[in-house]
C-alpha cells in the first residue's frame, strides 16, 4: 500500500519510489532465501526416490501450489449469505 500511494502521488520524489522498491525487493529476497533453506532442510530427510520426485523446482507434488478460487469468498457476486 505504501508503494502504491507513492506511485499515485504526482509530487513524490523519484528517489522515494526507488527506495521503497528496493525495500520490497529485499523483503522478497529474504522470503525466497527462507524458502530455499526450508527446501534444503527438508531434502535431508527425503529418500532418493522422494528427491527425484521433488525435483529441481522444489515442488511438493500434487496438492500443493496455486489453485483456482472456487466457492464463497471475497469478490464480486451475490454476497456472502446468498444461497
Burial class for 39, CB neighbours closer than 10 Å (0-12, 13-18, 19+): middle
The answer to whether position 6 is within a domain reads yes
Burial class for 77, CB neighbours closer than 10 Å (0-12, 13-18, 19+): exposed
Helices (H), the chain: 2-8, 14-44, 48-54
The total number of structural domains that make up the chain = 1
The answer to whether position 63 is within a domain reads no
pTM, two decimal places: 0.56
Percent of residues, the chain, with pLDDT higher than 70: 65
- pLDDT tens for 9-47 read 999 999 999 999 999 999 999 999 999 999 999 999 999
The answer to whether position 67 is within a domain reads no
The answer to whether position 27 is within a domain reads yes
Domain span including residue 42: 2-54
Predicted pLDDT of residue 17: 95
The answer to whether position 28 is within a domain reads yes
The answer to whether position 80 is within a domain reads no
Amino acid at each position: 500500500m505504501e508503494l502504491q500511494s507513492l506511485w499515485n502521488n504526482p509530487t513524490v520524489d523519484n528517489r522515494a519510489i526507488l527506495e521503497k522498491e528496493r525495500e520490497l525487493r529485499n523483503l522478497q529476497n529474504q522470503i525466497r532465501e527462507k524458502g530455499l533453506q526450508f527446501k534444503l532442510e527438508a531434502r535431508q530427510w527425503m529418500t532418493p526416490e522422494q528427491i527425484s520426485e521433488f525435483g529441481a523446482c522444489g515442488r511438493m507434488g500434487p496438492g500443493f501450489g496455486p489453485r483456482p478460487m472456487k466457492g464463497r469468498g471475497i469478490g464480486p457476486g451475490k454476497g456472502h449469505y446468498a444461497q
